[in-house]
Structure 1
Amino acid sequence: MSRAARRQRVPVALLVPAGLGLAFLVLPLVGLLARAPWTTLPGRLTEPGVLTALRLSLVTATAATLLCVALGVPLAWLLARVRFPGRRLVRALVTVPLVLPPVVGGVALLMVFGRRGLVGSWLDETFGVTLPFTTAGVVLAQAFVAMPFLVVAVEGALRGADPRYEEAAATLGAGRFATFARVTLPLVAPGVAAGAVLCWARALGEFGATITFAGNYPGRTQTMPLAVYLALETDPQAAIVLSLILLVVSVAILAALRDRWVGVT
């Protein structure tokens, strides 16, 4: 038997659990597609509640992504390029929302930005700004859970970029900011784009922190995941339609990022 043939043989002991794992992940999606109201789908997609939730989700996810890019790219640069005491601790804190239960994140946001929170009380008394249970609160909750995806992606891109270009720019007299804007950012633009797309997708699907910090008010804070949760009790068909939209978006994101996964062709 040739070496290539031996390499292609898959042990049954691995093939069976691999097949079960694939079925476990795919069957729920098949069930969603099988129960979808295909005959009434066009009409349901134009229902006011669906369109309102979809519009709000797109707007807030985009705003959250812009906020994450504005804050997360400099943070990723700091972690990748600057050595300072406690950098490992800072990196760990940045990635905490990846493993933190979203509901806990929502409670934490209330403790900081609520009317009696550490920052929220000052915002309320000084500027009359209240963030909880507002559309701005949705953006804040989405940005909190999504920013680590951007930071991790951009930091990885920065670590993989050749620093000699930045050194050459510094040698020619460019300052730190000019080097960052004209040399570093173009070098890591694909990583920033991939991180922003992942960040947007995570923000679009956020549920726990949003419902805890911003509530579930139609037209103001009810995003698509929250609308799915509410529709399950009153209109399961509408819940399936909203779930299909999120599924299509997720598949589109993965297809767009297929070349960014290491070792995947």
Structure 2
Amino acid sequence: MKTKSILFFFICSLVQMVSAQDYVPTRADIEQFFKTKTLVVLEDNPLMEYNILIQEVMKREWTITPFEVISFKEFEEKRKDPSYSFLVLIQTRFERDKTNAKYKFLDVLLGGNYFRVNEMPALVQVPLAYEEVEEHSYIYKLGTLVRFMQNHIRLIYEKPEIISANVFKYYNNNIADIRNKVLYVTEDDLAPEVNSERKIKAIYPYKVRITTPEEIEKAIQEKNPDVVFLHKVGPEGTRLKARCYKVIIGADDARFYYFDYHNIDDKHPDGFLASDFKKLAKK
């Protein structure tokens, strides 16, 4: 179970905190989504690069429903209308997490007469970053992540049998396909035990390239069919030690090829672990 908090800024600058649980979408939810217009909610901070880039990404990638961009304040005004769905950044925390770490998730939610945001059905939720982490750590991946979300909704419509509380585990069936591609990772996203290509080769004999965010962004922009890349969500040097999400995504097809997470401790640092590479080699 997890708790979610969204910040709403009103005229008097009051902040309302709302909590939420995990939700498993139903067939009716998915069918309802295709009848909606998707409202893309901008962040309240006008200086965020996200606000500019998400509009460009939606124009380029989103074809599954009509869409419109709205302000953060308008979200509260429109969220009870069932003719709308919403693409929105949600602040998320896990109830049993004693660190009280907060994460940014990108969610697709259905509108309706729900008293709290946590009651709105979520069709897909993708981890972006810890709340305290600067947006440059994920912003260049935004187009691929939005494309994945769109494709995921189509997939669960066509294959409702895969829907579960851990639906992303379905994508681990694609692990073997990683071996036919080059895995792009940054050194900062690797645990010390695998922070060189030499160390990686000892346990994972397939193609890996330790590279830069700029090179990953180039592969994404070119939709390079030979590249998959690591999207790692961790505290990035902040003091928090909670979850570390690890997702391998196709630069061209926006498929998830691997999805997992671990709880950070002294033996399991913030980064892709040797055990992750062993899973990729074994599957």
Give the TM bin, normalised by the shorter chain: under 0.3
Question: Which structure's relative contact order is higher, taking Cα pairs within 8 Å and 6+ residues apart?
Answer: 1
How does the TM-score come out when normalised to structure 1? 0.23
Q: Which has the higher helix share?
A: 1
Larger Rg computed on CA atoms: 1
